[in-house]
Structure formats: structure tokens, C-alpha cells
């Protein structure tokens, strides 16, 4: 049921992407911009946006450009993250800087960033609400950059607290999910729901990222990117923070490369010390708190879907 609902909205978004993000001249730039988008992805954020639009009583068709804008920003961040992390695989295909080259990848990300704000203005709602939504998206992008900088700076420090990690996650990942949830309320002028939807998105987005960190370690070949990359790159995830607090030493942590056997041994140690289970529980707790924020919304199929989707964020296998 939920998968079908997400797929239905993903198809809507994909059709809109073809219309709103065409490949044009210079062809190489736009093909690079569309590289990860064309590779697939679950379109979770734009699907959440369209479902939230229905949950506040709006006509989702009127704000399809907002859903596309959110997906566009998401892909902009992925392109630049992959450059900074030197990752070579994303969604089962070579990353943009590998498939093309690094300067082209930077420009492709920049192009998507600018396109998002242009596309958002195409929503069929009041102009003043589009202005407010654009401001929200701009603030979101600033926070994403702050979160990415925090994530990078953590690699240079020996010790990171759980609260520091959670603040980084809120900025780097959760804020775009929160925007996906709240921007329909802004666009339709149903401001009475915007704060609750924002909080729902922040809490569920935090759970989503913690679960993503778990999948990086446990997902193996299902995740469509370099398995165990967080460990070898020295990422201070909640899992590693808990392992360090327990005095567990992971030899390949921050080494830059490791064999599959070495990664498997590291994962086993992280499971045995309870760090992975701790992170799983933390993700589920965050989502449970998030779901309570939706009490203010009138009962509807869309509200039920948001609740179901929240659970999916921390139970998915890839």
C-alpha cells in the first residue's frame, strides 16, 4: 500500500522533472545535472511533500513544482557530498564526478541549486506564499551547508558528543525533510499546520539519517553505494560515538580503505558492543516523537500515509 502510494507520486514527480528540468545546451552540463536523478532514487522527499499537501487540504497538483524543487536540492547536495567524500558509487551508478569530471560535477550541482528556486516559483498559489516558501528553502540550504561543514569538521576531532552529532544530522539531513513536510502548508496558507509538520519532519528526518548510518554498516550490497564507507572515511556517526564511549577500537576507522573481510570484522564488533542496536532504537524513538506532532491534523488518508511513511523511514532495508 505505502510503496504503491510513493510510486504513484514518484511517477508524477518524474514526469514533472522531464518537463521542468529538460536536457538542453550545453548538453554535457545538463546530462551531468540529471545523472543521479535519472539513476533513480525513491523520491521520498517529493512524495512526502505531495502527501503533506493533501494532509493540509490542498490540491497537490498545484504545488508539484515545489516537490520537484525539493528533489532538485536533494540531488544538488548528493553531487557535492560525493565530491567531498570521494565516493565513487551512488544509486548503483558512478557518482557524477566519476562519470564526468570534478569541475563538471561542481557546475552540475550549482545548476540544480539555481534551478530549484526557479522551479518553485511555478507553483499555482498566491505569490506571497511562494515568496515565503522560497525563503524557507533558502534557509534550509544554508542549514544543509552548515550541517555538511559540521560533518567534515568532526573528522578532524577525536571526540564528538551525541548532541553534537544530532545537531549536525538535524542541519544536514532532517531540515530538508522538514521542509518537504512544511512547505505545502506555507504554499497553501494553512499556517496553523506548518509548525507541527516541520517538527514531524525534523524528528522523522533525524531518525531517517540515524537509520541510514545503520544501513551503511549493515546494508552490504543493498544500499547502492560503497558499503562501510562511513567507517573507512572516519565518520563520527552515532554508532561510532557509542562504540568509542564503550572503549571499542575499530582498526579500519578512518583508514581510507579496507577489504570486505576487514569491514565485516568491524561490523561484527560494532554489533557485539551494542552500538548498532543503540542507534536503531534512537532512530525509532525520534520517529515515534515525530508522529505525535501530527495529532493536530484532521484525520485523512494522507495523514495515515504520513504516519506509515514515518515508520518506513526507520525500517527500510536500503
Q: What is the CATH number of the domain that holds 141?
A: 1.10.600.10
Rounded distance between C-alpha atoms, residue 269 and residue 230, angstroms: 15
Residue 211 lies in a domain: yes
The pLDDT score that the predictor gives to residue 281 is: 96
CA separation (Å) from 284 to 76, 125, 164, 310? 28, 36, 19, 9
Mean pLDDT computed over 273-301: 97
To the nearest whole number, what is the mean pLDDT of the chain? 94
Q: Is the pLDDT of residue 119 over 70?
A: yes
**Residues contacting 14, CB < 8 A, separation 6+:** 43
Residue 112 lies in a domain: yes
pLDDT in tens, 130-153: 999 999 999 999 999 999 999 989
Rounded distance between C-alpha atoms, residue 150 and residue 126, angstroms: 36
Residue 18 lies in a domain: yes
Q: Is the pLDDT of residue 84 over 80?
A: yes
Mean pLDDT computed over 301-311: 97
**Partners of 94 in beta bridges:** 89
Whole domain around residue 15: which residue ranges? Answer: 2-313
Q: Is the pLDDT of residue 100 over 70?
A: yes
Residue 185 lies in a domain: yes
The pLDDT score that the predictor gives to residue 87 is: 85
Residue 318 lies in a domain: no
Q: Is the pLDDT of residue 200 over 90?
A: yes
pTM given for the model: 0.92
Q: Is the pLDDT of residue 86 over 70?
A: yes
Residue 33 lies in a domain: yes
Say how many residues make up the chain: 318
Rounded distance between C-alpha atoms, residue 261 and residue 255, angstroms: 15
Written in H, E and C, the secondary structure of the chain is CHHHHHHHHHHHHHHHHHHHCCCCCCHHHHHHHHHHHHCCCCCHHHHHHHHHHHHCCCCHHHHHHHHHHHHHHHHHHHHHHHHHHCCCEECCEECHHHHCCHHHHHHHHHHHHHHHHHHHCCCCCCHHHHHHHHHHHHHHHHHHHHHHHHHHHHCCCCCCCHHHHHHHHHHHHHHHHHHHHHHHHHHHCCHHHHHHHHHHHHHHHHHHHHHHHHHHHHCHHHHCCCCCHHHHCCCCCHHHHHHHHCCCCCCCCCCCCCCHHHHHHHHHHHHHCCHHHHHHHHHHHHHHHHHHHHHHCCCCHHHHHHHHHHHHHCCCCC
Q: Is the pLDDT of residue 190 over 60?
A: yes
Domain count, the chain: 1
The pLDDT score that the predictor gives to residue 12 is: 97
Residue 121 lies in a domain: yes
The pLDDT score that the predictor gives to residue 251 is: 86
Residue 253 lies in a domain: yes
Backbone angles phi, psi at 297, to 5 degrees: -75, 145
Q: Is the pLDDT of residue 225 over 70?
A: no
Amino acid at each position: 500500500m505505502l510503496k504503491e502510494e510513493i510510486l504513484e507520486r514518484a511517477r508524477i514527480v518524474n514526469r514533472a522533472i522531464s518537463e521542468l528540468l529538460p536536457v538542453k545546451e550545453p548538453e554535457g552540463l545538463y546530462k551531468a545535472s540529471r545523472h543521479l536523478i535519472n539513476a533513480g532514487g525513491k523520491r521520498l522527499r517529493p512524495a512526502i511533500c505531495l502527501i503533506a499537501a493533501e494532509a493540509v487540504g490542498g490540491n497537490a497538483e498545484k504545488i508539484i513544482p515545489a516537490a520537484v524543487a525539493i528533489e532538485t536540492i536533494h540531488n544538488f547536495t548528493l553531487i557535492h557530498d560525493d565530491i567531498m567524500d570521494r565516493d565513487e558509487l551512488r544509486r548503483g551508478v558512478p557518482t557524477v564526478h566519476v562519470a564526468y569530471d570534478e569541475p563538471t560535477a561542481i557546475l552540475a550541482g550549482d545548476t540544480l541549486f539555481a534551478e530549484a528556486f526557479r522551479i518553485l516559483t511555478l507553483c499555482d498559489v498566491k505569490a506571497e506564499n511562494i515568496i515565503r516558501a522560497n525563503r524557507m528553502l533558502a534557509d534550509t540550504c544554508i542549514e544543509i551547508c552548515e550541517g555538511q561543514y559540521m560533518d567534515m569538521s568532526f573528522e578532524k576531532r577525536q571526540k564528538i558528543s551525541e548532541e553534537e552529532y544530532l545537531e549536525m544530522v538535524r542541519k544536514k539531513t532532517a531540515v530538508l525533510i522538514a521542509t518537504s513536510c512544511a512547505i505545502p502548508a506555507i504554499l497553501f496558507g494553512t499556517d496553523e499546520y506548518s509548525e507541527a509538520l516541520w517538527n514531524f519532519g525534523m524528528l522523522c528526518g533525524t531518525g531517517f539519517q540515524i537509520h541510514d548510518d545503520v544501513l551503511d554498516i549493515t546494508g552490504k550490497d543493498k544500499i547502492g553505494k560503497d558499503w562501510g564507507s562511513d567507517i573507512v572515511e572516519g565518520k563520527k556517526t552515532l554508532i561510532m560515538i557509542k562504540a568509542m564511549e564503550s572503549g571499542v577500537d575499530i582498526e579500519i576507522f578512518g583508514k581510507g580503505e579496507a577489504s570486505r573481510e576487514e569491514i565485516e570484522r568491524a561490523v561484527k564488533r560494532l554489533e557485539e558492543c551494542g552500538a548498532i542496536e543503540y542507534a536503531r532504537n534512537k532512530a525509532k524513538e525520534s520517529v515515534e516523537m515525530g508522529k505525535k506532532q501530527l495529532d493536530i491534523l484532521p484525520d485523512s488518508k494522507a495523514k495515515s500515509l504520513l504516519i506509515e511513511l514515518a515508520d518506513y523511514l526507520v525500517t527500510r532495508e536500503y
